[in-house]
């Protein structure tokens, strides 16, 4: 497909007890204003050598950011309701998430939802909701487009 926009990309949620491979239980979270970052990063470990006077870096621990999400508030959307319920759930409850890109590729993972609350702007701003979703690295699966 080459270079393309994010427009048309979809985010889904399903409950913790549903297998990620199951096709039916996914509920689309609609009215997304901004999707977050899923890119893994690595910490840098600096090595300093007194003898030769050099500093250099080694690849350290792998790190995954929380997936930051901004939604245009829609109280009638089942996906936003499920996301809010996930935020209200007990600590440690991992929900399933899936991003479907317009080229048919997808990303699935398990994570906790950290909060669900209003994001206020100026007088002409849309009512928005922000949240953050953790990413459990062992559950992260990238699937290429067919």
* pLDDT one-digit tens code per residue, 98-146: 999 999 999 999 999 999 999 888 888 899 999 999 999 888 888 898 8
**Burial state string for 1-24 with b = 16 or more CB within 10 A and e = fewer than 16:** eeeeeeeebbbbbbeeeeeeeeee
Fold of the 10-143 domain: Pnp Oxidase; Chain A (2.30.110)
* pLDDT one-digit tens code per residue, 10-67: 999 998 876 666 666 899 999 999 998 888 889 999 999 998 899 999 999 988 889 9
Q: Percent helix, strand, coil in the chain (nearest 5)?
A: 10, 45, 45
Domain ranges for the chain: 10-143
| 24 CB-near residues (< 8 Å, 6+ apart) | none
Residue whose structure tokens are 């409950």:
15
pTM comes to 0.84
DSSP 138: G
């Amino acid at each position: 497909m080459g270079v393309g926009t994010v427009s048309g990309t979809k985010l889904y949620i399903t409950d913790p007890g549903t297998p990620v491979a199951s096709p039916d239980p996914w509920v689309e979270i609609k009215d997304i204003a901004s999707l977050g970052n899923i890119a893994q990063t690595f910490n840098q470990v600096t090595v300093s050598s007194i003898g030769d006077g050099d500093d250099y870096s080694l690849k350290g621990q792998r790190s995954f950011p929380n997936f930051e999400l901004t939604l245009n508030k829609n109280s009638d959307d089942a996906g936003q309701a499920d996301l809010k319920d996930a935020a209200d759930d007990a600590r440690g409850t991992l929900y399933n998430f899936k991003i479907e890109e317009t080229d048919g590729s997808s990303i699935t993972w398990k994570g906790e939802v950290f909060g669900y609350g209003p994001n206020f702007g100026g007088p002409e701003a849309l009512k928005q909701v922000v949240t953050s979703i953790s990413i459990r690295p062992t559950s992260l699966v990238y699937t290429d487009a067919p």
